[in-house]
Amino acid sequence: MKVIILLGLALALAVDAFAVTVGLSCSLSGLKTRQAFRLASYFGFFQFLMPVVGWLIGEHLLKLISRYDHWIAFGLLVLIGGRMALESFWSRDKKYNGKDLTRGWPLLVLSVATSLDALACGLSLPVIGLNVWLASLVIGLTAFTLTVIGSRLGPALGQVLGRRAELFGGLVLVFIGFKILFDHLGQA
């Protein structure tokens, strides 16, 4: 039963990383293998790291962070996604001519924004009888795997969407930001 709980949790936490990857891959007309691996590595690492950090910082600090984590994730995803969506109207050709979102600060921001839920999960892992280190490893590997899969599905979706693939990718990020916000506000 614990294996099913762990796999379900890992899949649920990796969905945001998968959706962001599909959106980016779609808007960039596909990711190069190096970009996909970099994105998968960062997403997987942060999905591994955040439950461990959540477990280490404990309940008190987590309560302080949980008041604002959804707002931070919302703001970051809406900012990046909104910029992508707006740039889709300024671009004159099919190629994404903006900054490579699989490098530098954009990559770090996306990695943190998609893994904030995993931070809160770190506190609950021992409560449900899961080893924090093993669970974090499974969560990280699941995010890595789904990111690679999403990087390969994005180009097919991009061909269907044509010139508006970048708009779609940006809107996916904005949607994920709103989903995170509404999920957390609905729990309050």
| Tens digits of residue pLDDT in 20-40 | 888 888 766 678 889 899 999
pLDDT score, position 188: 57
Pick from 8-22, 134-148, 154-168 the range whose average pLDDT is largest. Answer: 134-148
| Per-residue pLDDT, 166 | 65
Tell me: the pLDDT tens digits for 76-88?
Answer: 778 777 876 776 6
pLDDT in tens, 88-107: 676 544 444 556 778 888 88
Contacts of the segment 164-168: beta carbons below 8 A, 24+ positions apart = 164/88, 165/26, 165/27, 165/29, 165/94, 166/26, 166/27, 166/28, 166/84, 166/85, 166/87, 166/88, 166/91, 166/96, 167/27, 167/84, 167/85, 167/88, 167/89, 168/23, 168/26, 168/27
- b vs e for 91-108, b when ≥16 Cβ sit within 10 Å of the residue's Cβ? eeeeebebeebbeeebbe
Is residue 18 scored above 80 in pLDDT?
yes
